[in-house]
Amino acid sequence: MKKAFDLIVRRTGKAIGDFNMIEGGDKVAVGISGGKDSLTLFLAMKELQRKAKDKYEIVPVYLSMNNEPPEKDLTEFFESIGEKLLWFKSDIEKTVRKMMAVNPKEDMPCRLCSRFRRAILYERIKEIGCNKLALGHHMDDMVETFIMNLFFSGKISGMPAVAKSERHQLLLIRPMCYIQEELIVEFVETGGLKFPEDKTCELLGEKISMRQKVKELIDELKKKDKRVLHNAFTALKKYNFFHDCSVRGEN
């Protein structure tokens, strides 16, 4: 566990430094979904916060999809590490279901859900004095998003490591952009902490997300060359797809 976690902390710290994600005096909300990625991000940021010369605050926040509190195993996870999870209500699930009923061609709710969740989170974290929102997206997510945009949206765009919301005057940061998912899996599987079980989103039902299809494609290519994911990320970083960009509207 220690080796994997040390690598995660080191690479998270490097990303924070490279992209100037956090400064002294910041109050950073860490978006918690309940899955391994966001929980690993919080643990890494707590370790970095402990070592930081310029002090800043981090607050774990959870946005309910259906006005219900977090699952018991998630709250117990935070209790086990001496932290309290702050949660906010929303009825996003109901809204997305209505939109899908009106437009049956919208067979993948992920795009709608992520947009709504981020907009609501921005408003809620501003109310508690946060000026930044950290999300647990990793290297795999960023490469997959680029491919999804290219194949399914007809545009060349990436998932930035840092993005400023012009509407909300908040900074969105992705401190795990230098970390491959397999390292997170190694940490979770070999660590002494009891992580909540990853759950499939109820909005997807029996559907397979576009992201999962792209993930499977990359996994197949990695059988030929293990460097595929890293090479793709390196190319995108070289051409500034991950640098600061402004986000307008609800984002």
pLDDT, one tens digit per residue, over 57-89 is 999 999 988 888 899 999 999 999 999 999 999
pLDDT, one tens digit per residue, over 19-61 is 999 999 999 999 998 899 999 999 999 999 999 999 999 999 9
Q: How far is CA 155 from CA 146, 149, 204, 237, in A?
A: 9, 6, 24, 17
pLDDT tops 50 at residue 249: no
What percent of the chain has pLDDT above 70? Answer: 88
Tell me the mean pLDDT in the region 240-246: 59
The predicted structure's pLDDT at residue 46: 97
**Confidence band of 185 (pLDDT split at 50, 70, 90):** very high
The predicted structure's pLDDT at residue 248: 42
**What is the third-level CATH fold of 2-247?**
Rossmann fold (3.40.50)
Domain map (residue ranges) of the chain:
2-247
Residues 109 and 101: beta-carbon distance below 8 Å:
no
Q: What is the rounded average pLDDT for all residues in the chain?
A: 86
pLDDT tops 80 at residue 95: no
pTM of the model: 0.88
pLDDT tops 70 at residue 107: no
pLDDT, one tens digit per residue, over 115-157 is 788 889 999 999 999 999 999 999 999 999 899 888 887 888 7
